[in-house]
Structure 1
Amino acid sequence: MKRAISRMVVVCGTAVCLLACGDGTEPPAGPGSAPAPGLTDGEWLAGDLHVHSEHSDDSSLNPVARITALAQSAGMDYLALTDHDNHVDGDVAHHTWTDPDFLNSPLIMLYGAEWTTQRGHGNTFSARPYDHQTLYDLRDEADTRIGEHVRREGIHLSANHPATSDHFGFSYDIVRSIEVWQSAIWPNGTNEAALVIWDDMLKSGRDLTGRGGSDSHHGYPQPGETPSSNSYQAPANNVGTPTTWVFAADRSAQAVVDALDNGRVSVSANPAAPRVEFHADLDADGAPDLMMGDNAVASGEPVTFQVKLVGSAPALLPYTVRVVTDGYELMSLTIFPGQSGVQFTDTPPVGQRKYYRVEVTGPPTLYPQVPLSIAVGGNMVALSNPIYFNFGSSR
């Protein structure tokens, strides 16, 4: 499924002009998607888009109340509980979705599940209950039939852990996002491999949102509880490792899903780690015109890109910013102690698809609610979604 980027920007002389999509010259927005908010009209919300409660048979010590309490104590805003649908024969609607702690959560809760099939796994995200049973029943059908159901229901379907043994084995044309950062662990190489797959999809003209997901299954034992055989996984795969930030128009489930649709997404190592904000100034007036998820028509003039780290205590060591365009490293930049950001300039070619995204590495940030996660997380700090040029004409 290819979504329409809802902010198409062109440079009109010395001014920046916003074009509305869906007017016959641009593809219409997909089901459930809404125009992206302006650069100052939204709010960054923190959450986790891949969490299993005890409604999944392979989960332990992870009741819904414990998950939401941890997330709330860490300052998170929303959650997607994505229990395995095959553990309840596709009937998540009468299990996770009816759990009193789900319904009474203090957080914004998405309706979702992990679509668990013989061709890999995907997560579903929706602001309302939807017909998941039919999607489960279609798991062995042709991709076109699956895509038709997803579009009809207005479901945001996302590809899970694309570089593992249970990778997403369906067409990427039926999804709107891809899990590019799963769990706190980086040294084993699966997250780097997922980024390569994401870049391949972007190079093909698919404007897929990159997102995180902890794939948390197991909670820490509480006083008086017996540890499970899988309790050792809690530091590496716990709520918010990583954290997916969405730039939402308001504090609602629909606004979270819309932000995922529109690519207004940044991922950080945990809720306490800095998130990266990524903007572009098209007309050299010093003010940003684009942010992650936006698409512009390249004018042939240089564009100034701004990278900023937000929301963490000042670091004593530098951060490294890796700028990626069309799957290769364009440059490496340094944010020194005492600085909050850095900028660079490049000239996107006229009439040729091009995208820019950034990855930030550096000193890890302690996560008090998951105290051992820093030991397995490596030095990945944050990553952005792309800013696109000339993508609209190809979709």
Structure 2
Amino acid sequence: MSLARTALELAAAHDSAAAHRLYRELHAHPELSGAEHRTAARVSTALRTEGVVCTEGVGGTGVVGVLSNGPGRTVLVRADMDALPVTENSGLPYASTVDGVMHACGHDAHTAMLVGTAQALARGRRHWNGTVVLVAQPAEETGEGALAMRGDGLHERFPVPDVLLAQHISAGPIGLVAHVAGPVLAASASIDVVVHGRGGHGSRPDTTTDPIVIGAAIVGRLQTIVAREIAPRETAVVTVGRFHAGTAKNIIPATAELGLTVRAASRDLQERILAAVHRIVRAECEAGGATTGPDIRVVKSMPATVNDARVARSVADIHTRMFGSTRIVDPGPAMGSEDFSELALTPDGRAIPYHYWFLPSTPLAVWDVAPGQSPMAKFGNVPSAHSPDFAPDPAVLDHGVAAMTGAVLAELAADPERTRPHRRARRS
């Protein structure tokens, strides 16, 4: 029997109804980053039912399951568990029951797929050898979870993987699998800025130093970084997503607070943009007569996600044989960011190859009527991740279990001699 057929048969044997129930339960009871206690308990219970040896509390609320089946390669499968501070507007019958919290990024689906994949592999042990490490990771949205799990001994307390795998649902017509070899997600940094002025009465601006005016100048000038300092062949985004100042219409406040993100296709480009941000913020504060220099603090940083070429070919090949070539697409790199690649570094500095792919999950009924004559036009007109209207087609669960099962089997069967030697890597 071919590997692709085996993967499809194993995936079909998982308890689909149970996976859908788990998904609906997790969606209705979302938990924010670092507080995924209920979710972790449900994952552990489900994995132990399939004979997986589980450890809870890794890196906070993380769960690590080990499914051993004799000698062979070790494959790590990761799913994220946390939700977002978003008020749901999807209208789903299993919508969030937690005020202001929603699984708006599909992590509930990823978690259910992880459990379904574990079940498929556990029930089909006679078809594979080796070890599968199943990681339910907390706090992906804050960029803290992967580092916390690694810092808590992920690769010291559990089998060190030969390869890491992860998948993420996205907007786009359900049934496709999106693979990118090489850079797939951007490096990112989140920055908090405080501008210091001198407050006073709105009728006497001459006696004040208005931090709102300075902050507005900063917002405008920051847009010139990508427009005027970055070469057109390079890809970057600078977004100011928060601007807070003042308490009343007739009071000029003493401070203004800005929150922004920087996304870049490489760490080098990210560092150049960060240097420009610091330069512009300081210069605009000086030009506006700020009473003191600004406070500039990088509060979160995530590295670029760069897929290993060999693993990307291996996984894309098994998916092509499973689903057909017309279902496999290459959308190119995106500007979103992930902390998944933080798991790909061992304590002695060895980089572990990995592959991260997307599963479009927009219901076809929604996709077909979306405005636009091209896929890219339609893509911008359907609810996507982080939207309060994000409502993936639950059928993506079975598709995801099949996709991950096939990827795991392909990597367990990979010829170690063809695997690129681990390289030493540095992470700032």
More strand by share: 1
- Shared fold (TM-score, shorter chain, > 0.5): no
Q: Name the larger-Rg structure.
A: 2
Higher relative contact order (CA 8 A, sep 6+): 2
What TM-score range do you get, normalising by the shorter chain?
under 0.3
With normalisation by structure 1, the TM-score equals 0.25
